[in-house]
């Protein structure tokens, strides 16, 4: 049951081979058995989920339900869920119960999905390892001494251990693709503006984007069909028509032009990673794709520009947590200033504080031009270079991460080394492009991912290319032995 695709589960429900209550109970049991070790959930919605499942079963006898009604989904704890704690991995929001649903949550509810729990994440989505969470590190199901990636590491660990069939993630600089890669999943960061950010707790508003995390491109396409679309509640949400993302999955990819950025395939690339990626290239060649060398000369500046822009936006977004309106408030404040100061110093963890300090500094008078404006100029150059390259090719291929999952604790005290783990993903967010990560095989028993980057709003091309790859390979079908 836990290895099945969304379609296969929906089929069983429709044919009444299993009831929604049985299905939810089945996954709840798996969570109870395994999540003490993995720590992938902040909240398990046992009672609500069973109630909803019961309602689905009752309704199914009376009328036709949406095709996916009754299927469990794990929601990243960054999406506001009405009546269910939404912590964003922070002590600051440990007591926050939103009075409304994020648009993404609303859409999954309408499609009949049942939120089985809220997944652990790096605090305010700042991180690449899930170690900055107030609720503790998440373990990688492939090897519990390793990180599952971040910031959507709870979502990736939950799917990898088959505690939920699918999950949501958000990606500001790689947080869907990197954990997908480190846990052997398929994760898609849509074009900026494709998915509504309403009710998705803001980290860096010009970069944040929600997207699907799943075992396969097909499941991701089904999820994107539900998630994508205009939302009047988010002024940055695009008004482009939403295609059926499953419609082109079966198209042959003969003649697909794939760009290989020469800067990404330099001598610095780990030789084991290079070997696996070479196999991916070979598989695509066998399917008739053409490879063309391209150049993204400014991509080496992406991390530096991102670590000005993202903290600048974060410092502004996080100023709302002041202990007054909602969230954590310190005990016995002396006066107003004391309340602001202590609520924020006690409520935020160290990575969040580091970003607020960097961001505030970069935005301050006298430094604004030197750092923030400069970073924005680099951002524009990076975007233009991608667009020039994407005039020549349909998609760009790269590794998703420079290595497989690293040890828990290995990088916590070396922020720059942590930041470098997003070297292949961050530029994509600066350019607002869509990109997908999919399983590319294993190195010493740990999964590796490859990334395809597409043109703005060309999610269908990415999903089609990965689906075709997944028909020729079986990496994505493998799951960790302990959770078989």
Q: Give catalytic residue positions.
A: 76, 151, 175
Instruction: Work out how close the CB of 10 gets to ligand GLN at its nearest, in angstroms, rounded to a whole number.
Output: 30
Question: Interface mask (CB under 6 A) for ligand GLN, residues 345-384, using x and -?
Answer: ----------------------------------------
Region of 1-9, 67-75, 136-144, 170-178 interacting with ligand GLN (CB under 6 A): 170-178
Nearer to ligand GLN, 126 or 158 (CB): 126
Range 240-279, binding ligand GLN (CB under 6 A): none
Range 131-160, binding ligand GLN (CB under 6 A): 151
Q: At what angle do helices 459-472 and 271-286 cross, to 10 degrees?
A: 90
Number of residues that bind ligand GLN (CB under 6 A): 13
User: Can you list the alpha helix ranges (DSSP code H) found in 112-216?
Assistant: 153-160, 177-182
CA-based end-to-end distance of the chain: 11
Cα separation, 172 vs 85, whole angstroms: 22
Q: Which of 309, 310, 362, 448 binds ligand GLN (CB under 6 A)?
A: 310
Torsion-angle region of residue 8: left (phi > 0), alpha (psi -120 to 50) or beta?
alpha
Tell whether residue 57 is a contact of ligand GLN (CB under 6 A): no
Instruction: Work out how close the CB of 357 gets to ligand GLN at its nearest, in angstroms, rounded to a whole number.
Output: 15
User: 């016995």: which residue's tokens?
Assistant: 332
Whole-angstrom CA distances from 372 to 198, 358, 360, 423, 450 are 26, 11, 10, 20, 31
**Please, what's the b/e burial string for 31-52 (b: 16 or more CB within 10 A of its CB; e: otherwise)?**
beebbeebbbbbbbbeebbbeb
Cβ atoms of residues 254 and 287 within 8 Å: yes
Q: What is the residue-wise DSSP string for 42-60?
A: EEE-HHHHHHHHHHHHHHH
Region of 16-24, 123-131, 246-254, 333-341 interacting with ligand GLN (CB under 6 A): 123-131
User: 């200033």: which residue's tokens?
Assistant: 337
Range 172-231, binding ligand GLN (CB under 6 A): 172-175, 203
Nearer to ligand GLN, 151 or 299 (CB): 151
Nearer to ligand GLN, 173 or 259 (CB): 173
Region of 48-56, 94-102, 124-132, 220-228 interacting with ligand GLN (CB under 6 A): 124-132
Instruction: Work out how close the CB of 459 gets to ligand GLN at its nearest, in angstroms, rounded to a whole number.
Output: 18
Instruction: Work out how close the CB of 174 gets to ligand GLN at its nearest, in angstroms, rounded to a whole number.
Output: 5
Q: Which helix (H) or strand (E) holds 116?
A: strand 114-119
Cα separation, 134 vs 258, whole angstroms: 41
Tell whether residue 120 is a contact of ligand GLN (CB under 6 A): no
Region of 81-89, 166-174, 291-299, 338-346 interacting with ligand GLN (CB under 6 A): 166-174
Instruction: Work out how close the CB of 61 gets to ligand GLN at its nearest, in angstroms, rounded to a whole number.
Output: 43
Region of 26-34, 165-173, 335-343, 439-447 interacting with ligand GLN (CB under 6 A): 165-173
Nearer to ligand GLN, 6 or 201 (CB): 201
Nearer to ligand GLN, 125 or 188 (CB): 125
Q: What is the residue-wise DSSP string for 273-325?
A: HHHHHHHHHHHHHHTT-EEEEE--GGGGGHHHHHHHHHHHHHHHHGGG-SSSS
Region of 54-62, 92-100, 121-129, 452-460 interacting with ligand GLN (CB under 6 A): 121-129
Cα separation, 202 vs 210, whole angstroms: 11
Range 385-424, binding ligand GLN (CB under 6 A): 422
Q: DSSP secondary-structure letter at 371? A: I
Cα separation, 260 vs 8, whole angstroms: 36
Instruction: Work out how close the CB of 470 gets to ligand GLN at its nearest, in angstroms, rounded to a whole number.
Output: 24
Tell whether residue 128 is a contact of ligand GLN (CB under 6 A): yes
Tell whether residue 126 is a contact of ligand GLN (CB under 6 A): yes
Tell whether residue 125 is a contact of ligand GLN (CB under 6 A): yes
Instruction: Work out how close the CB of 187 gets to ligand GLN at its nearest, in angstroms, rounded to a whole number.
Output: 11
Side-by-side strand order, sheet with 114-119: 41-44, 114-119, 72-76, 167-170, 210-214, 186-189, 435-443, 446-454, 395-399, 257-261, 290-294
User: Interface residues with ligand GLN (CB under 6 A)?
Assistant: 125-128, 151, 171-175, 203, 310, 422
């Amino acid at each position: 049951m836990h290895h099945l695709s969304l379609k296969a589960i929906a089929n069983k429900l429709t044919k009444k081979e299993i009831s929604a209550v049985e299905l939810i109970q089945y996954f709840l049991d798996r969570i109870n058995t395994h999540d003490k070790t993995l720590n992938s959930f902040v909240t398990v919605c046992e009672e609500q989920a069973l109630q909803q499942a019961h309602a689905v079963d009752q309704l199914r006898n009376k009328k036709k339900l949406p095709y996916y009604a009754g299927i469990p989904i794990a929601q990243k704890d960054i999406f506001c869920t009405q009546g269910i704690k939404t912590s964003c991995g922070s002590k600051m929001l440990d007591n926050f119960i939103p009075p409304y649903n994020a648009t993404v949550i609303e859409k999954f509810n309408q499609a009949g999905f049942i939120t089985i729990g809220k997944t652990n994440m790096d605090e305010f989505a700042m991180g690449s390892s899930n170690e900055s969470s107030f609720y503790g590190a998440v373990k990688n199901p492939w090897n519990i001494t390793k990180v599952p990636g971040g910031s959507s590491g709870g979502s990736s660990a939950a799917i990898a251990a088959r505690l939920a069939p699918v999950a949501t993630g958000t990606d500001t600089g790689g947080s869907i693709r990197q954990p997908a890669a480190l846990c052997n999943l398929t994760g898609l960061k849509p074009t900026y503006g494709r998915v509504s950010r309403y009710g998705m707790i803001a980290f860096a508003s010009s970069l944040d984007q929600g997207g699907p995390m799943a075992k396969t491109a097909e499941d991701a396409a089904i999820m994107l069909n539900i998630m994508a679309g205009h939302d009047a509640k988010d002024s940055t949400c695009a008004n482009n028509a939403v295609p059926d993302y499953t419609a082109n999955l079966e198209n042959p990819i003969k003649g697909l032009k794939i760009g290989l950025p020469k800067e990404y395939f330099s001598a610095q690339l780990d030789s084991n990673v290079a070997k696996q990626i070479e196999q991916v290239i070979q598989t695509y060649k066998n399917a008739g794709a053409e490879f063309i060398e391209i150049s993204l000369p400014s991509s080496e500046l992406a991390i530096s520009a991102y670590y000005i822009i993202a903290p600048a936006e974060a410092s502004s977004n996080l100023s709302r947590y002041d202990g007054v309106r909602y969230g954590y408030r310190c005990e016995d404040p002396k006066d107003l200033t004391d309340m602001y100061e202590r609520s924020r110093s006690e409520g935020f963890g160290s990575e969040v504080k580091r970003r607020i300090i960097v961001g505030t500094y970069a935005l301050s008078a006298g430094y604004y031009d030197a750092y923030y404006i400069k970073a924005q100029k680099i951002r524009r150059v990076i975007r233009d270079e991608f667009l020039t390259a994407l005039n020549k090719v349909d998609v760009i291929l790269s590794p998703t991460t420079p290595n497989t999952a690293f040890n828990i604790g290995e990088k916590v005290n070396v922020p720059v080394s942590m930041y470098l783990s997003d070297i292949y993903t961050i530029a994509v967010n600066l350019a607002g492009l869509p990109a997908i990560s999919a399983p590319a095989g294993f190195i010493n028993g740990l999964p590796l991912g490859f990334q395809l980057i597409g043109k703005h709003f060309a999610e269908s091309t990415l999903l089609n290319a990965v689906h075709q790859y997944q028909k020729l390979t079986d990496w994505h079908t493998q799951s960790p032995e302990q959770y078989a």
